Amino acid sequence: EPEVTQTPSHQVTQMGQEVILRCVPISNHLYFYWYRQILGQKVEFLVSFYNNEISEKSEIFDDQFSVERPDGSNFTLKIRSTKLEDSAMYFCASSTRLAGSETQYFGPGTRLLVL
């Protein structure tokens, strides 16, 4: 069964450093998402991406965040200057279509720890 994959599984970084989280969505999916989950809290939407542009972003997704699809398979989330509060699990998700009943499939996540 096709899966969303993410690398790295864990990332430890110093505050102020840039990190890039990588995702390979399911191959025939066209819509991509990033979510995050701070330890002990709920899963929160960050951004959705379609046709090489951001379609929606949350208040969390400020100027420090950016997303890119640099080639036909990868989808990346960059945090330019990490803060302590960016420590969380980051999940990538993908789906086949937009209509109300489309299903999003999640990758295994990258656990980011900012020291």
Binding residue (CB under 8 A) for other proteins from 2, 16, 18, 56: 56
Shortest separation between residue 115's beta carbon and other proteins, angstroms: 19
Please identify, among the stretches 18-26, 61-69, 73-81, 107-115, the one whose residues bind other proteins according to the rule CB under 8 A: 107-115
Concatenate the DSSP letters of all residues of 57-95 into one string: E-TT--TTEEEE--SSS-EEEEESS--GGG-EEEEEEEE
Residue 3 and residue 94: Cα distance in Å, rounded? 10
Q: Which is nearer to other proteins, 39 or 84 (CB)?
A: 39
What backbone phi and psi angles, to 5 degrees, belong to 7? -140, 150
The answer to whether 22 and 83 have CB atoms below 8 angstroms apart is: no
Q: Which is nearer to other proteins, 14 or 103 (CB)?
A: 103
**What residues line the site for other proteins (CB under 8 A)?**
31, 33, 35, 41-45, 48, 50, 55-56, 58, 89, 91, 93, 95, 98, 100-109, 111
